[in-house]
Amino acid sequence: MEERIPLIGEKFPELDVVTTHGELKLPNFFSGKWFVFFSHPADFTPVCTTEFVAFQKRFDEFKKLNCELIGLSIDQVFSHIKWIEWIEEKLGVGVKFPVIADDTGKVAKAMGLIHPGKGTNTVRAVFIVDPNGVIRAILYYPQELGRNMDEILRMVKGFQVVDTNKVALPANWPNNELIKDEVIVPPPKDVEGARKRKGMYECFDWWFCHKKL
């Protein structure tokens, strides 16, 4: 298997993984669902602990979007289990999503998750994958900066709006500074379409039209 970061628009690689929920086949295990695959540098580290709590706090919100979560680091499964137990015992948060034990580094190498400047630890990465197993977004963070889980949740919501309505979304949707929670209409395909648009939608110009859903 080629060892590089998969690209947006490509299929998520077929992987057999060992997790805290048993052996799974990806992406087949999540067939028909969205899923967020994320890597963290190591168990029993402060930033990663805050991230696991933050993901779990939004677990039900992801579920409502037909979206699952799955984590990964280059730790053995017993380390994951003890860390998850610690999180529940000390912080009162029960982690419900599976965590991949990649102590051989096979999965991390297949996904391009090893940064040559950071030793053998996995980077802090996020892959958002749609129900067809296609990678829709990739986010990378440095080890010292924790992720914004609300942004990841917003992205999943946004992709579903885009796919259902065949539109684009503005910056900071649904709280955009220009058009608030409205969506952007796709560009016209010809001169006639450009001419008609101003009568059909609210427009700043023929190339920038928006509407309410």
> Of residues 48, 67, 203, 209, which has the active-site annotation?
48
Question: Distance between CA atoms of 114 and 122, rounded to whole angstroms?
Answer: 5
Told to judge if 48 belongs to the known catalytic residues of this protein, a careful annotator would answer yes
Closest among 97, 29, 100 to 12, alpha carbons compared? 29
Segments in the chain forming alpha helices (H): 46-57, 59-64, 77-91, 106-111, 149-165, 191-200
d(CA 159, CA 117): 33
Which of 40, 44, 67, 32 has its CA nearest to residue 152?
67
The answer to whether 75 touches 43, Cβ cutoff 8 Å, is: yes
Query: Do you find a cis peptide bond into 188, omega within 30 degrees of 0?
Result: no
CA distance 66 to 12: 18
Catalytic residues: 48
